[in-house]
Structure 1
Amino acid sequence: MFDLPHKGTARKHLARWVKNAGIKKSITWHCARHSFAVNLLNAGTDIKTVSSLLGHASIKMTEKYLHVIDQRKQKAINKLGKVAFDTETAK
């Protein structure tokens, strides 16, 4: 596919990206990787592709990122408030 940079080089690039984005807190490579995965999933990328991009040996390893997506779905549903459901009209 493509050659990956040495981890020291990757850290330098990450530090530059964080600085250019105006982010004041410390961002680790792990945090950036997690954000990358979650953003891909939020954008609708399938889990198999995300798993491949992260270099995971199995999709099981990638599934841990899905909890963030599930939380966003729950928040969206909760914004609806209580929905009354009349069992008589549902028949």
Structure 2
Amino acid sequence: MNQGWTERQRPVRLERRLEFADYEATRDFLDRAASLSERVGIYPDMSFGRTYVNITLHAEDDATALGEPLRHFAREIDALLATEKTLDE
């Protein structure tokens, strides 16, 4: 898994916090993440403020490990960030 993601076990999930320079950058990222979610059918838990976004990808109910679709989605989020300027990089 790419740097920046934390894998947790109880419950099984991936988490990442992103920090942005301003609200405009945060909003742009959220719009592009929404488009990605609609395209692949994965809808993570996201919370955000003016300059940050917290993302949590939960494993399927009763799963003991994260599946490849969630790991792939995390890589797709990372690809979105490649064109964003975040403060955590």
Q: TM-score, normalised by structure 2?
A: 0.30
Larger Rg: 1
Higher strand share: 2
Higher helix share: 1
